[in-house]
Amino acid sequence: MPEGDTIHKAAARLRPALLGAPLVRFEARRLVASPDLRPRPGMVIEDVEAVGKHLLVRFDAGMVLRVHLGMPGSWHLYRPGQRWQKPPHRARVVLEVPDWVAVCFSAPTVSVHRAPSGPAPLQPVAHLGPDLVGGEHTPDEVAALAVARMARLVPPGRAIAEVLLDQRVAPGVGNVYKSEVLWACGIEPFRSVEDVTDHERHELLATAARQLRSNLGRARRSTVPGGGLAVYGRAGSPCRRCGTLVRSRRQGEQARRTFWCPGCQE
Ligand SMILES: [Zn+2]
């Protein structure tokens, strides 16, 4: 699963290329949409935005293309006629405008929705919690909203690390930030959610929002002073805080790898 900041960066890259441009060509394999809801040549792209882990492309004809990037999904931007860096059969969405071709490879879910009139909340992503990365809320405000959703939506017994990945609580945290945020707050990833206090939950989510936002403008992801990551990908290396060797193991239904320090995360 890509991190929320990845989607925001993709939207920031695509926006200047696509905004206000008329569609020349649209292709989407395995598109989920009713037949009358399909972007057609001539429709103008009005906005490209990231909402949680979804990239939304709005057309003037009142429809929204929604692309959810799975683990291998990525957006590429090419000039017309330029050779693609990945095989064409893996393209899931092709959005061509007069000067650019935006191609999304390997995204598992692509759908088109009728855009509701008026401003947000947008129907297609209404089941998602408040976005940790974007939006008008401060990290503390967004954390407060997410903590309330966590209390309402998450059943007891789930490990806190898995809860952080739950898009219904708050989209944005992927597998990298999951480990980084838990280390930053000194919380052991396997602790059951009901044993994590409201204060700790708030700290986790506010820290996630701050880390995600501070990485928006950076080419290399960094969560510690001096650059780099605290624990993710560092199994066997000394913890930057206490020197204990960092460990990793697979966790949860999807067996996502979790990195943590057994010395200073309790
Ligand atoms: Zn440590």
C-alpha 90/C-alpha 146 separation (Å) is: 35
Distance from the CA of 219 to the center of ligand 1, in angstroms?
A: 27
Nearest CA-CA partner of 15 in 50, 40, 66, 54: 50
Q: Provide the CB-side half-sphere exposure for 134 (13 A, CA).
A: 16
118 pLDDT more than 70:
no
Using the mean position of ligand 1's atoms as its centre, give its distance from the Cα of residue 242 in Å.
Answer: 4
pLDDT at 122 over 90: no
CA of 263 to the centre of ligand 1 (A): 5
**What is the distance in A from the centroid of ligand 1 to the CA of 186?**
8
Per-residue pLDDT band at 125 (split at 50, 70, 90): low
**Position 155 pLDDT exceeds 90:** no
Q: pTM of the full predicted structure?
A: 0.63
* Type of residue found at 31: L
pLDDT tens-digit readout, 164-219: 998 889 888 888 999 999 999 999 999 999 999 999 999 999 999 999 999 887 77
| CA–centroid distance for 190 within its chain | 22
Measure 251 CA to ligand 1 centroid, in angstroms.
20
Distance of CA 231 from the midpoint of ligand 1 (Å): 9
Q: What is the pLDDT of residue 126?
A: 56
Active site residue 188: no
| Catalytic residue flag (residue 53) | yes
What token pair was written down for 106? 């390997």
State residue 237's pLDDT score: 95
What is the per-residue DSSP string for 166-183? -TTT-TT--HHHHHHHHH
Q: What is the pLDDT of residues 41-58, one digit of tens each?
A: 888 888 898 887 789 999
Distance of CA 247 from the midpoint of ligand 1 (Å): 10
Residue type at position 226:
G
> 215-264, pLDDT tens digit by residue?
887 778 899 988 899 999 999 999 999 999 999 999 887 778 899 999 99
pLDDT confidence tier of residue 106, bands split at 50, 70 and 90: confident
- Per the residue annotation, which of 49, 53, 180, 188 is the catalytic one? 53
User: Are 56 and 124 within 8 A, CB to CB?
Assistant: yes
Task: Please enumerate in sequence order all residues whose Cβ is within 8 A of that of 105, keeping only pairs 6 or more positions apart, or say none.
Answer: 72, 73, 74, 75, 76, 86, 90, 91, 92
